[in-house]
Amino acid sequence: MSSIDIELLSLYHLDVSSNKVEKTNINITKETIVNYVDSLIKEILDSPNRRLYKFKDGNTQIKSSIPDIIAQKEDYEKLLFHNAERLLDKEVKADAKLQKTLKVQVQRGSLMQIHFKQGENDNILICKVEHDEILNEKSFEIDRGLNTKKKVYKAFLYYLPNDNRHGEIYLNDKNESKYWWDEFLELNQIKTDEENTEKSIDKIISTIASSSRKKEFEFDMTILRNGVVGYYRNNKQFNFSDMLDNLFDDYSPFNKNFPIKRIKEKLNNLTDDSSFDKQFTIIKDKIGKRKKQTIKVGPGLFLKVEEYVNNLDSIFKPYEVQGEHGMLILTDEAYNYAKENAKKNN
């Protein structure tokens, strides 16, 4: 990443409880704040969990304010303040709704608006950051300060178009909060949640399947595939990093030769796959065709998995005794079927 030059930075504390916006003065020439912003930008640029967006048609507020903020026209401070007011208005409404329906609050924090350059390219970063109350060690008074460890809740990163590049908008928001991208920023998603659900699950399962087609690895492949389907079924939001961490980082193969390292590497390469976003809302109806799986367990003998099975690795067990190989199915239904079948044959 080329070096970053901060041209403008503003910070407004948003008090949802009192419905007030308060400006916090920051000296952007101080090394500490430059390092903070530099690491913040790098964190967002390096994150795989981003989604492509575009502005809605018309002269929407945030979009219209950006050229004047970059040019630092006479009224640019008012524009920064009005943007903060706009977010607070959306947060107050979202907070009331969330407290009524889910008994939770909108995350408290501040709005940071940054104009920075990389070479000759102008970029805008607007993000919701954690802004703590801290006890001043000298005066013992309560101050506000930026949390350097938990930096960003939500981020909007806009690479402005010029002669050398098309404009691109990325959002980084684990919760996909509609009040942020739709109501505050007034954006449209380029790819739909339906498209993302179908394309991503196909790509992930295909990547696993193509990594090794050896018969001896079929058991591990079945467990991993079932885990992927379970992730889509049991989560509302798809987050690429979370999916990789939850399903693959701690996976212990049943077959010691199973190429789990190669599979992880191939899945990590999907970060650069532009056919699906790395963060979106999962649409359950679009998982359907990937729920079913047929496993050949012998000549003319197949086992059909029609739905995600919880703890499949505890139900299917490899069996090897005195040179005989097979698979155990540890369920009451399998036991009762085998028991009744044994009675008939005796």
Q: Residue 15's Cα: distance from chain center in Å?
A: 27
pLDDT tens for each residue of 139-158: 555 555 666 666 688 999 99
pLDDT(202) > 60: yes
pLDDT tens for each residue of 295-345: 666 665 556 665 556 666 666 777 777 777 667 777 666 666 566 666 666
pLDDT tens for each residue of 65-108: 999 999 999 999 999 999 999 999 999 999 999 999 989 999 88
Residue 223 vs residues 212, 229, 252, 261: alpha-carbon distances, Å:
14, 10, 11, 16
Token pair 């709005």 is found at: 111
* Pair 267, 242: CB distance under 8 Å: no
Which residues 6+ apart lie within 8 Å of 75 measured at CB? 68
Q: What are the sequence ranges of the domains in the chain?
A: 5-189, 193-345
Mean pLDDT of 282-290: 81
| Alpha carbon distance 79, 72 (integer Å) | 10
How far is it between the farthest Cα atoms of the chain? 95
pLDDT(162) > 80: yes
pLDDT of the residue at 269: 93
One-letter amino acid of 291: K
pLDDT of the residue at 221: 85
pTM for the model stands at 0.75
Q: Do strands 51-55 and 168-173 pair parallel, antiparallel, or not at all (unpaired)?
A: antiparallel
Q: Where are the beta strands (DSSP E) in 136-222?
A: 142-146, 152-159, 168-173, 187-189
